[in-house]
Amino acid sequence: MSEAGFPLLSLAILLPLLGAIATGFTPTVKLAKSIALVIAGCELLLTLLIVQSFNAGSGDFQLVEKYPWIPFLNINYLVGVDGISVLFLPMSALLTLTAIIASWNSVQHSPRFHFALLLALEGITIGVFTSLDTVLFFLFWELTLPPFFFLIGLWGIGSQRRGAAMKYTLFMLFGGVPLLFAIVILATNHAVAVGGAIPQALSFSLPVLLETPLAADLQILVFFLLLLGFAVKAPLAPFHTWLPTAAMEGPAHVTAILTGLKLGAYGILRFTMPLAPAAAVEYSWLLGILGAVTLIYGALIALQQTNLRRLLAYASLSHVGLVVVGIASLNMQGLQGAVFQLLNFTLVASSLMLVAGMIQHRLGSTEIIHLGGLAKVMPRLTCFYFLFTLASIGVPGTNGFPAELMLIIGALKAHASLGIAALVSAVLGATYMLSYIRRAFFGPITQSVVSQAQDLSPRELALLCVPALLVLVLGFFPDSVLHINQMASEVWLSRLLNPAP
């Protein structure tokens, strides 16, 4: 672990939180919006600086900062990044920036609170990605709930937005309970393992816990508790029903953040697997089956959807299934493909959702019977939507292809049936995405409201250009991402496959 000279990570967590306070207390709306935009822009630069100062040659945690927080229980403020987590920082910052620009004019009531919440959410998310102390992680994890609750409940576009916000919160609270149990078990196990007294010898720090041996039966318990907690957020079937509801009721840019940031899958990667390595290896088949079921289940349901936002929700469910299959395959290709695919989500799934929001904003609906022939009146919007669709179904040239290729090869290496499930989903993915395009974007115009719709405004064009460009760049040069997480992935794998005696 290398300590940070300058507290870059803390700054990245604090800057948006302070920005949120500033935005919330600014007298005029216009100024508040500008502050939010500037803060989000600075945050993006800051996170890029973090990536710049990150050393890809080491698989260890870097830029680590440690301050005592609750000394009585040995809980510290401990943050740091490794190759697996570091790229999520600029991606979350970019996502927040696009969300702010996307909602620039569409928020009618209490805009200051809205933008303050978006910034706060950004700070908390970066906290989730960087915290290395399990209690600190749990704090940030639960703190993501209030912003989402208010953002969905207050600015949602569906008639049941309150219910959707409630549903989301209840699901997430449910997921939090097993996490907390697992954290307590791990901390007390450390105390027992080193033979100390309970409050003094507790340890919540991830690097310490990774080195602490854990009895086999406890490993199984911890593995399933952590898996349950993260499966709700990821989401894996059958805990996914909050996602379509939130996608239908929530505002598009918030849903974009929700589908773009796969915190649950990240949690499985960061905590579930390494903290209970023997159990993870033993039960990787179960994780693989869970992923494969989610994968096929989501794809088949997506085939039947008539509403774009629900379709995207199920498509995202299916993609999470693929990522989990990759994690469960326990080899470099599967793991690196999974991390790559998670990064892709922040570009592709969220941009698709934003485009859906633009359609909703113009036509008042994303239901198929209200659309048809959009390509004629909105050629640019169609172009961007099509590009992101191609990335989502993994066509070469886009970033979806290298990630999917690695995931499929990884799955095939682990077990042939997992690989075949992944291939089936690739075929189904093309079917549901292109069928929707066929019915909504192509064909004759049937609704008069469609024929009067405006194409993308310069603001929208600018905000879609950045992810579109990144989609192509990462598709052409996947090694630029892979070399950053290579060392960390090797360390991750060796921890699971060759445990220290």
Within residues 414-443, the interface with another protein by CB under 8 A covers 415-417, 419-420, 423-424, 426-428, 430-431, 434-435, 437-438, 441-443
Q: Is 244 in the site for another protein (CB under 8 A)?
A: yes
Give CA–CA dist 273/268, Å, rounded: 6
Distances (CA, A) of 376 to 436, 454, 461: 16, 11, 17
**What is the closest distance, in whole angstroms, from the C-beta atom of residue 417 to another protein in the complex?**
5
Terminal-to-terminal C-alpha distance of the chain: 22
Site for another protein in 346-385 (CB under 8 A): 360, 364-365, 373, 375-376, 379-380, 383
- Of 163, 196, 207, 274, the one binding another protein by CB under 8 A: 163
Q: Is 158 in the site for another protein (CB under 8 A)?
A: yes
Tokens at residue 98, please? 């696009």
Q: Which is nearer to another protein, 36 or 302 (CB)?
A: 302
Q: Is 454 in the site for another protein (CB under 8 A)?
A: no
Q: Which of 429, 252, 422, 268 is nearest to 351 (CA)?
A: 252
* # residues contacting another protein (CB under 8 A): 84
Tokens at residue 356, please? 């859906």
Q: Is 447 in the site for another protein (CB under 8 A)?
A: no
**Strand spans (E) along 83-224:** none
Q: Is 212 in the site for another protein (CB under 8 A)?
A: no
**What is the closest distance, in whole angstroms, from the C-beta atom of residue 195 to another protein in the complex?**
36
Q: Is 495 in the site for another protein (CB under 8 A)?
A: no
Give CA–CA dist 353/374, Å, rounded: 16
- Of 412, 463, 471, 474, the one binding another protein by CB under 8 A: 412
**What is the closest distance, in whole angstroms, from the C-beta atom of residue 7 to another protein in the complex?**
33
3-state secondary structure of 388: helix
Q: Which stretch binds another protein (CB under 8 A): 38-46, 57-65, 66-74, 328-336?
A: 328-336
Site for another protein in 253-292 (CB under 8 A): 285
Q: Which stretch binds another protein (CB under 8 A): 57-65, 134-142, 154-162, 259-267?
A: 154-162
Radius of gyration of the chain (CA): 22
Q: Which stretch binds another protein (CB under 8 A): 97-105, 170-178, 274-282, 350-358?
A: 170-178
**What is the closest distance, in whole angstroms, from the C-beta atom of residue 153 to another protein in the complex?**
11
State which amino acid sits at residue 69: W
Give CA–CA dist 422/418, Å, rounded: 6
**What is the closest distance, in whole angstroms, from the C-beta atom of residue 226 to another protein in the complex?**
19
**What is the closest distance, in whole angstroms, from the C-beta atom of residue 150 to another protein in the complex?**
16
Q: Is 300 in the site for another protein (CB under 8 A)?
A: yes
Q: What value, to the nearest 5°, has the Cα angle with vertex 43 and ends 38 and 44?
A: 100
- Of 413, 447, 466, 491, the one binding another protein by CB under 8 A: 413
Four-point Cα dihedral 123, 125, 129, 134, nearest 10: 100
> What are the two backbone dihedrals, phi and then psi, of residue 156, each rounded to the nearest 5 degrees?
-65, 160
Give CA–CA dist 1/63, Å, rounded: 8
What is the per-residue DSSP string for 283-332? THHHHHHHHHHHHHHHHHHHHT--BHHHHHHHHHHHHHHHHHHHHHT-SH
Give how far the C-alpha of residue 107 lies from the chain's centroid of Cα atoms, to the nearest Å.
24
- Of 209, 222, 231, 406, the one binding another protein by CB under 8 A: 406
**What is the closest distance, in whole angstroms, from the C-beta atom of residue 486 to another protein in the complex?**
8
Q: Is 459 in the site for another protein (CB under 8 A)?
A: no
Q: Is 230 in the site for another protein (CB under 8 A)?
A: no
Q: What letter would DSSP give residue 73?
A: G
For residue 170, the tally of other CB atoms under 10 A from its CB is 11
Q: Is 303 in the site for another protein (CB under 8 A)?
A: yes
Q: Is 460 in the site for another protein (CB under 8 A)?
A: no
Q: Is 235 in the site for another protein (CB under 8 A)?
A: no
Q: Which is nearer to another protein, 33 or 167 (CB)?
A: 167
**What is the closest distance, in whole angstroms, from the C-beta atom of residue 276 to another protein in the complex?**
23
**What is the closest distance, in whole angstroms, from the C-beta atom of residue 54 to another protein in the complex?**
19
Tokens at residue 180, please? 């907390």
- Of 239, 283, 385, 492, the one binding another protein by CB under 8 A: 239
**What is the closest distance, in whole angstroms, from the C-beta atom of residue 410 to another protein in the complex?**
9
**What is the closest distance, in whole angstroms, from the C-beta atom of residue 375 to another protein in the complex?**
6
Contacts of 75 by beta carbon, 8 Å cutoff, 6+ apart: 69, 133, 135, 136, 204
Distances (CA, A) of 33 to 5, 24, 115, 253, 362: 33, 10, 7, 16, 22
